[in-house]
A and B are shown apart, each in its own frame.
Chain A
Amino acid sequence: MKTSLHSKTSLLTPESSTEAISSKMKDVNPEVGSLQPRKRKGNTVSKATQNEKSVLESSNAQAPTKEKHKGLESVPIFTLITTYLSYLILILFAHIRDRMGKLFYPGQYALLRESDGYAPLISDFESLWIRRLYTRISDAFNRPITGVAGGHVTLLERTSKDHNKTFELTGKKTEVLNLASYNYLGFAQNTGYCADQVELSIKNLGLSHCASRAQGAQTKMILETEKLISEYLDVEDSILISMGYATNSSVIPLLVDKGCLIISDELNHSSLVSGSRLSGATITVFKHNDPSDLERVLRRYISEGQPRTHRPWRKILVVIEGLYSMEGEIGDLAGIVALKDKYKFYIFLDEAHSIGAMGKHGRGVCEFLGVDHKKVDMLMGTFTKSFGAVGGYIAGKKDLIDYLRLKSYSSVYGEVMPIPVMEQVASSLRLIMDIVPEHKGEGPKRIKQLEENSSYFMRKLREMGFLILGDQGSPVVPLLLFNPGKIPAFSHECLKRNIAVVVVSYPATPIITGRVRFCISASHTREDLDYALEQIDEIGDLLGLKLLK
């Protein structure tokens, strides 16, 4: 909350004063602070649960939530040392093995050497991490599945005879509890309203158009789905884009170019980074989720103008995410929106993970934080997560969206969204909006279920003494593992106990904070979660992960 106090001193807007109140509340009750409430919504999330656990929490709740800002002081020094030491040993061994390997088995390293006047396609140094470290634990990634990635998922068992270089399917299938897929609202289904609607669409309309939107494949269905999205988000207009990654990487270059400035959160997703790079605009970053640092950057860059020429910027685009998927952290939208009127920048908000999953009606972080979504110029989101489809959208003013319809790379050069996918988007959206009379209440029920599930799960893990990142209300719950040896161990132990989890380490995270990321879904029952918690509790004891105990 240090951050909001800063913004308050520089700007006395209504938003920041409410923040000041919430930051005071944090001092009184650490648990409330961990909610990062910023506005009314946060307080109501778990008022009921606060009292019963405040005794337990007050001793240790402060550290896990604000790990990013406070540094790692709450982590025992022993853990930090062993983590760095482990990486040191791993890298040392990697180099020794590489040297030895090149000496005794030069054939295996042919790809990394210049040969016959050709430069190696894969750089020796760059691939060291992959060859020597990732390969050791690669069985924890890319695990193949079959069927629906719902609350439970069927894994295809595989083995490796050459130390994870290649894998073979054994033909055995195991059903496991799925804490890995982004199936927040549980729309990954092969039965029910959505699946029925999709089947109807396939039968009536076909599968795909084999063309791009600008060159003859603009269908009535696209326009209708877009209208539905606009209605749902309460915006003037929106455009459907057939791929989530491309929504960012192909739209940003149309909004800004040379002579413009992009100010990006330092932890932004790769798609936003590649979109920014393609645009040709000047790019700078501000400290993760820190509006006061954004303000510092804005003041500096606006006053200095463009580099060398010192001409004023043509426009400034601030690119942020609603929910940071690796951190489970909710973006400080209120703080950033508060700066908007003064500094006249445009906001590009990536709601890939938060749309559908957060807020009372699932309208994303704006609703969750009580920020006026009209202040955000470009609302971007994807259908991969909460909606059980693929693709994305951009929502905003009508002239902006029309421009994108004409010019976005996706509409001009890309394929249009396949018909079954589009129908999945539309039908799940209708359920979330609760406008299907036969299924009244189903969408809101899912949203409520997700919120209950994720706050229950996060609370229980914190009570067990794990170091948990993430804000209350986030369906993404990262648990810090630190030591590199524990990363595959956690994954293996979970798999043994029939739970599928995602583990992430460097380079996706800072080197020290390797983590396991749980994605909670509305399709998890209380029994599922209790089972998972029980097993994670055991694993935590086994691997010594309860650092706050």
Chain B
Amino acid sequence: MRFQDRLFFISKSSLATVLISALPVLGSSDAGNHSENAKTHGFFSYGARFVVRYVKASYRDDPFRTFLELCLVLFIVWYVSKQKYKFNQVDLKLSEKDIEELIKEWKPEPIVPLMTTHEKEVFDNFPVIDSPTGTVLKLDNGKSVINFVSHDFLGLMNNANAKEKAVNTLRKYGVGPCGPPGFYGTLDVHMELEALISSFLKADATILYSQAMSVCVSVIPCFSKRGDIIVADDQVNFMLQQGILLSRSRVYWYKHNDMEDLKKVLEKIDQVESKKKGPIPRKFIVAEGLSMSTGNILKLDKIMELKKQFKYRLILDESLAIGAIGPRGAGTTDLFGISVKDVEILIGSLCLAFGGSGGFCCSSKQLIGHQRLSGAGYVFSAAMPAIMAITAADGIRRLETDSYALLNLLRRNIATLRSQLGRIKDIVIEGDIRSPQMHIRLTESAYKKCISSNLNSSNEQTWENEDHVLLNIVSHMRDNGILVSQCVYVKEHEHNIPRPSIRVLVSCTHTQQQLEKLSQSLEEAIKAIAK
């Protein structure tokens, strides 16, 4: 019996008790002459004797009435015991035959839906690479292409030094650690890498996760629980969205990188919350340093102010920013000169700029200790292979020792490419001018032209049609030796799907000619598609 039902039962039975106890009172007008001498007795003995005397008296006076009253009592008993339905749930009384029939009739949908034409097109357009990793790749059709799809901003991928270290590590540690960190999976190289990240970012403590994807999904539910408040940018990357979803907290979204809107949202929440009593909920702002889906840089200084003013904590995802922006290449905090220690929870990745695998979270010692027991991706997942930890550590050390040269090269390449792309009339480049990840869209007029010349069936400018145009451009560019990719999303699960775009990732290893070739080939492709 559930709590509600029990409550209901109690209320019903108390009703009956009241009725039963009221009976003698109803009859007391008859037997009123006895009531005076009862005052001296206790309530219960009085009541019992009263009832006995009353029944005797009434039987003598009117046996029919006693019978009637007995019927009434029986009716109440029957009434109380009869009603057994439950709240919130209609108990369908189905016979075995009905159930069998329902089971026979029931038809499930196929486990996955058929791909739509657009999805099929995207799927078939995945290139297959058949060469070592690097700036120039070879596709399985024998064509060689320049790589603009790897997050290899610092050119650390596929360098001879890292490979040699990896082989040495392999010969000492093997590949997999064969267990989660808690069960003899913590290697000395993991602890060294954690210490290295802490010292590089000047953070208190760091925890490693074996996959970048699992960091957000583990960290957010670890601290933000049901009833807590999360205020998040409405364009945060997908894994942050999943982490927020998994935490089951109350979510409020603010417009992408719009600090005015954030302030409004915070004020509104403050108004509602200040009226509530009880303990304060935990309150978080979730934002991305360098946005995956737009390439914008967070206004961190403003957000630090707001979070202090409204007493929020910041969960900052620096996956893309670390190794790409800031004077030392240490991300948005570096760029704004804000101490990492002032950011309560900082998430980073090792599989992008540093060429390793996995991700990490920086925070205070106690919060990191808490994650070692409650972070699902840490507790339940196998530890990071030693090879990848060493590779990531090597990448960070390279950046530390050579930050000036590497970052300058990267900045020069970003500037060059931006100025070259700026000459193309038909495109819009989204994102901050310092971002090595650029999102390229066509202008409205160019979209219209391309859609009308490409799609005969419908000229509508839908998400799919825009994506279709970009896809054609991408594959045209690939045929001309440039590998870029249009952004792929799991559209139906995204909170706020960004407009389709072509993603270009600049590395410091790209030469001026390669960058020039990119803008040329993009221009040609648009011309060819628009006709």
**Alpha-carbon distance between A400 and B99 when the two chains are bound, in angstroms:** 31
CB distance from A392 to the nearest CB of B (A): 10
Inter-chain contact B382/A407, CB cutoff 8 Å: no
Inter-chain contact B356/A315, CB cutoff 8 Å: no
Residues on B with C-beta less than 8 A from A208 are 133, 157, 351, 355-357, 388, 391
Inter-chain contact A142/B181, CB cutoff 8 Å: yes
Residues on B with C-beta less than 8 A from A383 are 176
**Alpha-carbon distance between A278 and B352 when the two chains are bound, in angstroms:** 25
Say yes or no: is A223 at the interface (Cβ < 8 Å to chain B).
yes
Residues on B with C-beta less than 8 A from A121 are 223, 282, 313, 344, 367, 370
**Alpha-carbon distance between A345 and B163 when the two chains are bound, in angstroms:** 48
Residues on B with C-beta less than 8 A from A385 are 178
Say yes or no: is A78 at the interface (Cβ < 8 Å to chain B).
no
Known contacts A346-B108, A409-B242; A390/B176 CB under 8 A: yes
Q: Which A residues, 247 to 304, have Cβ-Cβ distances below 8 Å to chain B?
A: 249-250, 253-255, 269-271, 274, 277-278, 298-299, 302-304
Residues on A with C-beta less than 8 A from B257 are none
Say yes or no: is A178 at the interface (Cβ < 8 Å to chain B).
yes
Known contacts A119-B282, A181-B179, A214-B488; A220/B211 CB under 8 A: no
**Alpha-carbon distance between A217 and B237 when the two chains are bound, in angstroms:** 19
**Alpha-carbon distance between A211 and B113 when the two chains are bound, in angstroms:** 27
Say yes or no: is B106 at the interface (Cβ < 8 Å to chain A).
yes
Inter-chain contact B186/A270, CB cutoff 8 Å: no
Inter-chain contact B174/A189, CB cutoff 8 Å: yes
Q: Which residue of A lies closest to B229 (CB)?
A: A119
CB distance from B518 to the nearest CB of A (A): 14
Inter-chain contact B357/A413, CB cutoff 8 Å: no
Known contacts A149-B185, A424-B176; A412/B133 CB under 8 A: no
The 0/1 profile, CB within 8 Å of B marked 1, for residues 369-394 of chain A is: 00000000110001111011110000
Inter-chain contact A303/B98, CB cutoff 8 Å: yes
**Alpha-carbon distance between A418 and B387 when the two chains are bound, in angstroms:** 10
**Alpha-carbon distance between A546 and B388 when the two chains are bound, in angstroms:** 44
**Alpha-carbon distance between A122 and B375 when the two chains are bound, in angstroms:** 13
Inter-chain contact A215/B176, CB cutoff 8 Å: no
CB distance from B172 to the nearest CB of A (A): 6
CB distance from B12 to the nearest CB of A (A): 26
**Alpha-carbon distance between A330 and B145 when the two chains are bound, in angstroms:** 50
Q: Interface-forming stretch among B57-65, B212-220, B444-452, B464-472?
A: B212-220
Say yes or no: is A338 at the interface (Cβ < 8 Å to chain B).
no
**Alpha-carbon distance between A358 and B29 when the two chains are bound, in angstroms:** 85
Selected contact of A181 from candidates B128, B178, B311, B377, CB within 8 Å: B178
Selected contact of B174 from candidates A188, A210, A405, CB within 8 Å: A188
Inter-chain contact B181/A409, CB cutoff 8 Å: no
Say yes or no: is B326 at the interface (Cβ < 8 Å to chain A).
no
Which of A114, A120, A145, A150 neighbours the largest number of chain B CB atoms within 10 Å of its CB? A145
Q: Interface-forming stretch among A1-9, A84-92, A195-203?
A: A195-203
Inter-chain contact A144/B115, CB cutoff 8 Å: no
**Alpha-carbon distance between A198 and B123 when the two chains are bound, in angstroms:** 30
Residues on A with C-beta less than 8 A from B98 are 303
Say yes or no: is A141 at the interface (Cβ < 8 Å to chain B).
yes
Say yes or no: is B272 at the interface (Cβ < 8 Å to chain A).
no
CB distance from A225 to the nearest CB of B (A): 13
Residues on B with C-beta less than 8 A from A345 are 108
Known contacts A315-B109, A402-B123; A203/B167 CB under 8 A: yes
Q: Which residue of A lies closest to B378 (CB)?
A: A245
- The 24 sampled A-B contact pairs (Cβ below 8 Å) are A118-B311, A121-B282, A121-B344, A123-B225, A141-B182, A145-B188, A181-B183, A202-B170, A205-B131, A207-B158, A208-B355, A210-B355, A214-B485, A217-B129, A249-B217, A250-B213, A303-B94, A313-B106, A315-B110, A342-B103, A343-B103, A413-B490, A415-B212, A420-B170
Using CB atoms and an 8 Å cutoff, list the residues of chain B in contact with chain A.
Answer: 92, 94, 98-99, 102-103, 106-115, 119, 122-123, 126-134, 140, 147, 149-152, 157-158, 162-163, 166-167, 170-179, 181-188, 190-191, 210-214, 217, 223, 225, 228, 237-239, 242, 245-246, 279-283, 311, 313, 344, 351-353, 355-357, 366-367, 370, 372-373, 376-377, 379-382, 384-385, 387-388, 391, 483-485, 487-490, 493, 503
Which 8 A-B pairs have CB atoms at the shortest separation, nearest pair first?
A216-B149, A245-B381, A206-B133, A384-B382, A206-B158, A243-B211, A181-B178, A415-B351
